[in-house]
Structure 1
């Protein structure tokens, strides 16, 4: 794209931003915001669509207070952005923030019929069904850890039952599941889960969501389960920033998973632990459940060998080297799949690439330099073999590169590195590693390619394969468009999910 075209693109973008900045939201935006505020209880029991401008403004201020936005009462861009983020589908309830009453318009819980709290201290739970692409024994460990978070700081005791009745039931659903159309799940993003307050004892999760058991890509199932369990115990959403019970799920980090607000809330209902002190655990303890341990429950019929684990799960990144060996990355491990061969056992990242952190965002091998590139957050690493290049890791976001890129690829036709992030792509020079002029550009240049891919590689036939969840897209560089798509584990034998000797699928 030449300077004139780039200038025209910037001018059009500036006009679009100017239009977006004009006062007053578009009618559709206002209606969508009104539906959102109705869904999450900010209008109380008023009939839908009967809200005056003042009531709408008060509800917006309530939402902005809960989400720590400026209390403008205006449907501005930050408020719209916050409404679009993935969150818990349970309503935000009635609260006093500690500074002033939330609103003169009183709000109510999403579930009208609730018992407030359990009148016993020993509770059973059951996982009724399972998310796709995650091994059952790992999910069971994550669920057990989620319940233990709450038992560590209260007088409650939980144990799992495999079948039959249970006090608390965890179920994965798709779309409408008889909770009312307002609570139907909508696929990836949006409302990830919701729960009912005590004595109904149910938590529902969107089965179409991209669930994960570690701190890399995907929605962390452990955090979402722990949050929804809090609702089944009687806890409402918390207005405290970084509380587990905040409406927008927290991220795992070095801090404690439960905040002081979460601990005080559960202890106000059930008291302190009967023996000893409350035990708080930091998030870093729970960042990786895929530690390749054996099933503590005596075997999981759906769990295969570690070699095939990524075939029925999600991976963080993928690339291929000059010999067309494929490298698949997940959490703190990687697999290598040689040409027409079977996948290796999982290997620790740090053994091959010392200093590389777990849960990388994207990776690529350069056909120009023979070096491996890795990206995570705003930083990047570059290795020749197992040796980290001088000056790396470096803060690539300071060079105009996107934070948390979806996919990295060395595109031979440009002889450049390409990063994909959402609806845009970025072209990089390698020496030095920096953004080329007139980028980023729209993903529409890659005709038929969806946004949010998890990785890409160049196949031995010259085609470029992109991956997201269980699907792949085959892109032909000569035609500059996607020519085929399907499910990679079942349809691409060179991905290591087929037995190289028998030709049978491994899972």
Structure 2
């Protein structure tokens, strides 16, 4: 148990027993007992390189599996991805070797370009992904609908699942695209709909004809205009670790294809082909591309690439620092560098491609990696690169930590504190278990309920609620103090 965990135990015993005159009270803890809470991270950084998470399971991906996935995703085609012809990236050969395909894939995903099917590459290739692009579209043809009002029909629903939430999410996904371009969508129950949506297994049907996903890891696939049909692989939705947000992200992605958008190599785009990143609306680069096809909707959702000034915010979502001493606040879709004077918001995806907005909590671990938490998942970055295998389930990586946390911090021993509501949990990284005292009352630390964010830097640990700031003291409790970080 960390020294801070020992302190909490002492506090609990003291609180529960000191009111009983017969029982001798435990002595108050000395400052040395709790100094790990505010001890410099840099002093601990050289002492541990321990990964705080449970190990990732490396998927079984053979060379044949990899080739099927990569060719299915179009890595051997003469095609445009973000303006760059895939066939021109490596050589002039019309048929690429598996080594070349892997090297191209590694480059686009920020992996070491070895051409070898290593563990990191298997993690990305073995993750669920969008299926191959399906259309009669030619390389020189712009694929788009010739009308502005489109109908869609939900042919079926996953077996045993309630239609209501699924119908609502699909309507939301179509609405998000309608907000940013001149297209209107209406659900109908007729077979002559413009877009038919279906759920099924690897072998399924498209308007009566046989259809098939290229491989078992395919989340969904869609046809370009003016076919537009969308098929979801039922096994990946509404079961296990998948959530409604995962389905919304995938639905938004597939509708993008149905409207004429191709895959993007940028993880800051909703149209990146690999596993859901939890986007809930088209990202700026997606908006730019869809508006190039269909125009800008008058009075629709504005595409803001910068947020308001930091000091005008009434609250923040999360806070994190970096190795250079910069402090960043996250609020909505934007991040702010608190070290800059009159800092204005910049898009989160421009600094951490693949990270969605509205983050719950964040921290930088002792090894320098950045962790971001939202709902029941977390994202891990090394610098600005999202690491393979992420986003990942909190439950699998940090057994016992709750989802939907308000704030998180790391103490000088590398233990993780997660705050939610009126409680907090301590995750002991050496044992990869939750402390036996968790959850505990947040009032034991002198903090208010329902924190907005917390921040642990090289020298201090603090927490935020609204515009109030609480800093950890050597007596083991937080107290309200002045912070210039949120001031213009």
Give the shorter-chain TM-score range: 0.3 to 0.5
- Which gives a bigger RCO, structure 1 or 2 (Cα 8 Å, sep 6+)? 2
TM-score (norm 2): 0.47
